[in-house]
Chains A and B, each alone.
Chain A
């Protein structure tokens, strides 16, 4: 193994520029003559648009154009389609409501784009937007799903009951039978609260157009340029070949930067029409309204158990908020993306799930870190604790009795998947030891003396990764031994540059500094499926490893020529000094760099030129299944209700690990996003006006450094048997395990008051009321 090979905690090469302020984020790019676009958004949750008078705005200083839906319609610009329609239980099609680029005659949520102003400066565009007179006829709105489904105002006239779809999966009869025969049916009603993803870099794009070549460019802070190119070309009726999509450094994505949004279409349309570059930079207030939101499920879960707490059948009924329009993947996230994981790490013989997609007058909902799997893990892991509570068992014991054992692998779950590997009991036992579970009762008693309610909670999660289709990697070897990689995944901060370089250091023995990773350029990179679903290292990495293997085979032929030997007699080895080819059993050898130089000379391209290149594509044969155990210990102050996480322990199985330093970073960040959802973050609309009440960092509780603990993180590596590298993916797992662990701890802390469940976010106010409410024992003390 080399110093920078697989498994080494290599610090990142990206950091050299990012730490010096030399990153190149999209807003940092300034094109000569660039104009600025501002979007005028609906102030109403639902309103007919009777007319738009932009005459004064068009005459305002610096203004080049004001666009409305009529301009787009005249140019043949379509709506942004939902790419993942689902079918109703009766086989009929769902109510498919695409997202308009600009609302034409009806604005359907606060923040719905209504017009766009393009001006010389951002200030002029913003000032001019205030001069646009929109004649709105305000209508009553439905922002919460219960109201929307029970006679609330219609978001769409032709979607009765605000129902988008009524989808199901699984064996309803088998679940009914399990329920009928059960010792007990344990039930919980759960809220999976709506979240605003809030990447620290808000969304931003910059478009320009070359009238001579007829080609346009779009720089956009994205999670993959190829998807954006395909999607925007479709909406605008352009040829993909006429469009170059580029992504530089990305300041966080978490899902929301996958999708095509109206603003990118507006900027590109304006640049093509005006012949000047056009930039749109979202501010944070706008991001709260305009970035897709995440989660927002109401779920009833019922779990049939026998006398010993063994799971017999699970029924899950969910309402999933779609928002006012369907985002690219909205229905998929609420259905297939997560529900297949509802049985978790347990042997549940029968599962049935039904999901109603619901339209509301809110921002569209789509994938946010985990995308369906956090929701599923929250359901089954809360249910495991509810069973323990109902039967008077230790939550760890309930899990032990239901785990799928390692020798049952590969294990077919009731809904879809075949788990290839995992040792769920070991994850739990290791985590309980690290968390000193045995010592908890003494800590609880001690804390109580100091006015604190201590609780401990666990979650033995599993999730599915590596979807999203194939990935492709190209390796270009130059005569000087330098290597350029072209790959269609897109780092949003994970550190793909370092990870991929490290993989090549491992396979080819090249130094990290000899490798350049190219991502985010749809012209240079022929194919890409982008970053999402924790796929980049397991799928992108596997594609790169496959390409590296082809590079070695090609180089071996060239080395054989240099060594005047038959290729079958030449072997390639990597050690601390690099990669070299040798005739087996002799000391006659030639380095990778020498082979590259000779190849470039033979090709006549010179030492800096291309010696040879290879490309390979890798398609995952199956999903991978990261799994693990989170244990959270929380102290709730009796006087104030303030929760403090005292310790947080996680044992994860991600299979083979490429870079443990970067991996731990993914886990830490994911867990804190989960802690944020469980304790702080909530998206609140005023039920009467439909206004977003939590529309800034003043109102929306982002987790900050002073409310989270250090995280004790350990690995239990069981290599994936279906992934070429044995890797399972780690980008979302932290978020998936965290919410049930935290809420299980909160409920445990409050168990002495008969509390069986606390909805997220468990804020100090919520907790104080549970402790001091009329019926609580504390209040009586």
Chain B
């Protein structure tokens, strides 16, 4: 039976009619056309679909759209500043070549942003353990970990707040 879901996505209010079984990631990709969030598995293992729900990183394939009723969702499309300036994490991924095919990247970046919200000065081990739920097949994680550590340094030295622009 169709249900109506109202939520905020990247700072914009949206209301959509969806099936009860519709996942949050399907709402984002198929109903809202926000295809930056990717689906890389069907067992909640790969993390390509990570978005922020009320500021916390969530695998959007593991949550029903209905459960996002009233929530504030930020996707990779909403991470950069309104003027287009990349979030420091996006900038760090670019500078350190932390992405190759780019398929895991949106989830990886959203997850890493949330890490720095919890822990602004993570160790290499803490970065690696936090990202254990995001699978990348291209980079060997080397440059991803470097990017996250570098971003933490940048933000500590007084750059922007770690939260996503739209949150």
Contacts and interface: CB of A to CB of B under 8 A. Distances in A.
A14 B94 CA distance: 9
A535 interface: no
Contact of A20 (B37, B80, B142): B80
Interface string B26-40: 000000011111111
A450 interface: no
Interface string B68-101: 0000000111011000001000100111010111
B21 to A, nearest CB: 8
Nearest to B30: A30
Nearest to B148: A705
Nearest to B107: A200
B103 A201 contact: yes
A595 B27 CA distance: 52
B123 interface: no
Contacts of A15: 93-94, 99, 102
A19 B94 contact: yes
A669 B138 contact: yes
B41 A661 contact: no
A47 to B, nearest CB: 25
A186 to B, nearest CB: 32
A251 B38 CA distance: 10
A711 interface: yes
Contact of B103 (A251, A284, A670): A251
Given A15-B99, A672-B140, A284 B106 contact: no
Nearest to B108: A705
Interface in A19-72: 19-23, 25, 27-28, 30
A665 B147 CA distance: 13
A300 B62 CA distance: 46
Contacts of B43: 284-285, 696-698
A23 B102 contact: yes
Contacts of B90: 19-20
A706 interface: yes
Given A200-B48, A284-B40, A705 B131 contact: yes
A170 interface: no
Interface in A498-552: none
Interface residues of A, number: 55
Nearest to B28: A21
A199 B38 CA distance: 13
B42 A285 contact: yes
Given A20-B90, A697-B41, A697-B46, A705 B76 contact: no
B135 A252 contact: no
A696 B33 CA distance: 27
B97 A665 contact: yes
B93 A705 contact: no
B101 A19 contact: no
Given A28-B35, A711-B140, A705 B40 contact: no
A469 to B, nearest CB: 25
Given A493-B138, A669-B140, A705 B127 contact: yes
Nearest to A711: B142
B141 A672 contact: yes
B59 to A, nearest CB: 12
Nearest to B125: A706
A21 B75 contact: yes
A12 B36 CA distance: 18
Contact of A252 (B77, B93, B138, B144): B138
A704 B132 contact: yes
Interface in A188-214: 198-202
A286 to B, nearest CB: 9
Point out which of B46, B100, B103, B127 has the most chain A C-beta atoms below 10 A from its C-beta.
B100
A242 interface: no
A697 B37 CA distance: 19
B102 A251 contact: yes
Nearest to B86: A19
B57 interface: no
A773 to B, nearest CB: 30
Contacts of A16: 94
B42 A12 contact: no
A27 B29 CA distance: 10
A11 B36 contact: no
A671 B103 contact: no
B101 A199 contact: yes
B99 to A, nearest CB: 6
Interface in A753-768: none
Contacts of A703: 140
A705 B94 contact: no
A493 B97 contact: no
A98 interface: no
Interface in A661-678: 661-662, 664-665, 668-673
A633 interface: no
Given A19-B109, A285-B42, A665-B139, A201 B94 contact: no
Contacts of A23: 36, 102-103
A73 interface: no
Interface in B5-28: 19, 21
A78 interface: no
A672 B142 CA distance: 9
A661 B42 CA distance: 33
A140 interface: no
Nearest to A20: B80
B137 A673 contact: yes
Nearest to A11: B94
Nearest to A671: B140
B142 to A, nearest CB: 4
A738 to B, nearest CB: 10
Contacts of B145: 705, 710
Contact of B97 (A25, A200, A662, A704): A662
Interface string A690-708: 0000001110001111101
Contacts of A702: 45, 135, 137
Q: Of B39, B134, B138, which is in contact with the most chain A CB atoms at under 10 Å from its CB?
A: B138
A21 B135 contact: no
Nearest to A251: B103
A25 B129 CA distance: 29
Contacts of A697: 41, 43, 45-46, 135
Nearest to B131: A705
Contact of B102 (A18, A664, A668, A673): A18
Contacts of B41: 283-284, 696-697
B99 A18 contact: yes
A706 B142 contact: no
A202 B48 CA distance: 12
B56 interface: no
B152 interface: no
Interface of A: 11-12, 14-16, 18-23, 25, 27-28, 30, 123, 198-202, 249-252, 254, 283-285, 492-495, 661-662, 664-665, 668-673, 696-698, 702-706, 708, 710-711, 734
16 contacts: A18-B102, A20-B76, A20-B80, A21-B34, A30-B33, A199-B137, A200-B40, A252-B137, A285-B43, A493-B138, A668-B141, A669-B140, A696-B42, A697-B41, A706-B129, A711-B142
Interface of B: 19, 21, 33-43, 45-46, 48, 75-77, 79-80, 86, 90, 93-95, 97, 99-106, 109, 124-125, 127-129, 131-132, 134-146
In the A-B complex, list the 4 residue pairs whose CB atoms are closest, starting with the nearest.
A21-B36, A493-B101, A251-B103, A18-B102
